[in-house]
Amino acid sequence: MSISVSDELQLFAQEIQNFLFPNFLRDLARDVGFVQRTSKYQAKDLVALCVWINQNVAKTSLTRLCSCLESSTI
């Protein structure tokens, strides 16, 4: 029985959730140059979608992901 990419990503997201916190991710993203300016959505928002909001980013449209993120912050 082989594990699908989607299942692997879900397991990876669960591991990330156990070790990384939003402030740490924000600082790390700035330190490595991933985030160079402040905008409406930040690196922690991508992690929120993948981990805490439990969205499948590999199969969900960007519009739907943004909608989920927006509704979770209101």
pLDDT band at 15 (very low <50, low <70, confident <90, very high): confident
Of 6, 27, 32, 23, which is closest to residue 48 (Cα–Cα)?
23
Structure tokens at 48: 């929120």
- The pLDDT, as a whole number, for residue 5 is 81
Tokens 């943004």 — which residue? 66
- The pLDDT, as a whole number, for residue 60 is 75
Range of the domain at 54: 5-72
Contact, 48 vs 25, CB < 8 A? no
Q: How many domains does the chain have?
A: 1
- The pLDDT, as a whole number, for residue 67 is 81
Q: What's the CA gap between 37 and 57, in Å, rounded? A: 23
Q: Tell me the one-letter amino acid at 43.
A: A
Per-residue pLDDT tens over the stretch 19-74: 777 778 778 888 888 777 766 767 777 777 666 666 566 677 778 877 877 777 65
